[in-house]
Amino acid sequence: QGIGSPSVYHAVIVIFLEFFAWGLLTAPTLVVLHETFPKHTFLMNGLIQGVKGLLSFLSAPLIGALSDVWGRKSFLLLTVFFTCAPIPLMKISPWWYFAVISVSGVFAVTFSVVFAYVADITQEHERSMAYGLVSATFAASLVTSPAIGAYLGRVYGDSLVVVLATAIALLDICFILVAVPESLPEKMRPASWGAPISWEQADPFASLKKVGQDSVVLLICITVFLSYLPEAGQYSSFFLYLRQIMGFSSESVAAFIAVLGILSIIAQTIVLSLLMRSIGNKNTILLGLGFQILQLAWYGFGSEPWMMWAAGAVAAMSSITFPAVSALVSRTADADQQGVVQGMITGIRGLCNGLGPALYGFIFYIFHVELNELPMPESPSGGSATQYHLQQNSIIPGPPFLFGACSVLLALLVALFIPEHTNLNVRSSNWKKHCGSHGHPHSPQAPGEAKEPLLQDTNV
């Protein structure tokens, strides 16, 4: 039944090990992706990540509802196992590796189950701090692991990195089996075994159907969609773009991830709190969107490695947008509306996780942003790769990023009409009925919390 009583630290270790294993594979994945799909690398990357994101969006509510009935531990084991299942296939069969990554999106919702686990064992006033600890652990695993994987791959070869990542994934599975106790109270489960799961609980579009019921909610949701769609696409392809188009080495990509992660943590803690106190909530959102426009335009027109580094620093500042949006919602929505409105926002972000990568891959394909071969290792500055690329697109090196800047500009114009202080009013009778029949006092899960974690897809 696990070691000790359920705690946040059990969830933290599960998250750290899973994403540390995947972080090790950052550099090898970029190489294997290009070798497997040399013709249309960015298009195939977008399709793979897009299918995975859409499947996660569709399956998250069902898995969340099932974990309310059958307990969290079994679904932690299920999600971690299937999320990490593609890792050993990287060296066995790259085609199967990418196929299994796409299909694994059905179970790639570890964060949803982890957040439900945390909600079971914390009081409401402790929950935000516990979620912050989980999110910080996720960030810490990705700050260190790509650099470690790039170093080991350069010294000992990518095969050792794949073996190490597989071993860490197995360690995570063993930890869940042996050490993680069940968080859902025992008295809740026997009574719930026969409880039916309604279509409303499993419907991924349930929260999105309420978007148009309040004008302020509609403005917030449009802002989130227009700003997060390019962000989701960017993070599915940007490291591949640095490696293949800008000529970054594996070590440079790992260093870029580490620096961007550290700066984003600083921006989302110290800088965000200072801005919220000094210029207000709405102005903080507008400032974050402004930084995002600048960052995407810089990525789009940048043709030199130093431009990517400079734009990355701006990207860290743009990471304040979504926490500021969540804070605005939490301050303006009534207590019984919080889950409904946050569920809409996270549902939109989940949808963007599927649409964004596919859109970016398609735009890269339209503008013929491709490479015929990997950058030559004897050219550390990546001159050959950059020269080939500029022959193809001398005016706009990164077309999707420029499209993203235009999308965020529209989000900024929409956000101007969001009032600073208002009361959100969204009908939530079905949600209340669901909570009354299937919830429990330790885990007042709203639909959004069961679908996608609010902090899963930040810039970190």
Answer whether 181's CB lies under 8 Å from 10's CB: yes
pLDDT score recorded for residue 268: 78
Q: Hey, do 1-184 and 207-370+397-419 end up sharing a CATH topology, with the first three levels equal?
A: yes
The torsion defined by the Cα of 266, 269, 270 and 271, in degrees rounded to 10, comes to 80
Answer whether 438's CB lies under 8 Å from 198's CB: no
At how many degrees (to 10) do helices 41-70 and 429-438 cross?
Answer: 60
Give the up-direction half-sphere exposure of residue 181: CA atoms within 13 A in the CB hemisphere: 15
Give the per-residue SS3 of 416-433.
Answer: CCCCCCCCECCCCHHHHH
Residue 450 has pLDDT above 50, yes or no: no
Q: How far, CA to CA in Å, does 332 sit from each of 31, 215, 278, 398, 415?
A: 47, 13, 19, 38, 15
Polymer length in residues for the chain = 460
Answer whether 2's CB lies under 8 Å from 179's CB: yes
Q: How far, CA to CA in Å, does 45 sit from each of 152, 426, 430?
A: 24, 38, 39
- Radius of gyration of the chain measured on its C-alpha atoms: 22
pLDDT band at residue 18 under the 50/70/90 scheme: very high
- The pLDDT tens digits of the residues spanning 198-242 come to 666 677 777 777 777 778 888 888 998 999 999 888 888 888 888
| Domain residue limits, the chain | 1-184, 207-370+397-419
Which tokens hold the place of 211? 């978007």
Domain 207-370+397-419 is classified in which CATH homologous superfamily? MFS general substrate transporter like domains (1.20.1250.20)
Q: Which of 194, 208, 209, 211 is nearest to 437 (CA)?
A: 194
Residue 168 has pLDDT above 90, yes or no: yes
Which tokens hold the place of 286? 């507008």
Q: What b/e sequence results for 187-217 when a residue is b if at least 16 CB atoms lie within 10 Å of its CB, and e otherwise?
A: ebeeeeeeeeeeeebbebebbbebbeebebb
How many other CB atoms are there within 10 angstroms of residue 106's CB atom? 17
Find tokens 């947008």 and name the residue: 321
Which tokens hold the place of 298? 């810089």
Of all residues in the chain, the percent with pLDDT exceeding 70 is 76
Residue 287 has pLDDT above 70, yes or no: yes
Which tokens hold the place of 256? 């870029």
Tell me if residue 443 falls in helix, strand or coil: strand
Answer whether 130's CB lies under 8 Å from 78's CB: no
Give the up-direction half-sphere exposure of residue 355: CA atoms within 13 A in the CB hemisphere: 13
pLDDT score recorded for residue 20: 93
* Partners of 151 in the β-ladder: none
Tell me if residue 326 falls in helix, strand or coil: helix
Dist CA 428 CA 345 (whole Å): 15
Residue 349 has pLDDT above 70, yes or no: yes
pLDDT score recorded for residue 334: 65
Q: What b/e sequence results for 394-411 when a residue is b if at least 16 CB atoms lie within 10 Å of its CB, and e otherwise?
A: eeebbbbbbbbbebbbeb
CA dihedral sign of residues 403, 405, 408, 410:
negative
- The pLDDT tens digits of the residues spanning 50-105 come to 898 888 888 878 887 787 777 788 888 999 999 999 999 988 888 899 999 988 88
Dist CA 203 CA 205 (whole Å): 5
Answer whether 330's CB lies under 8 Å from 281's CB: no
CATH number of 1-184: 1.20.1250.20
pLDDT band at residue 449 under the 50/70/90 scheme: very low
Q: Which of 215, 186, 458 is nearest to 349 (CA)?
A: 458
Residue 145 has pLDDT above 60, yes or no: yes
How many other CB atoms are there within 10 angstroms of residue 326's CB atom? 18
As a whole number, the mean pLDDT across the chain is 77
Which tokens hold the place of 217? 């909610």
pLDDT score recorded for residue 45: 87
Q: Check residue 227 and report its DSSP letter.
A: H
pLDDT score recorded for residue 235: 81
CA dihedral sign of residues 33, 453, 230, 255:
negative
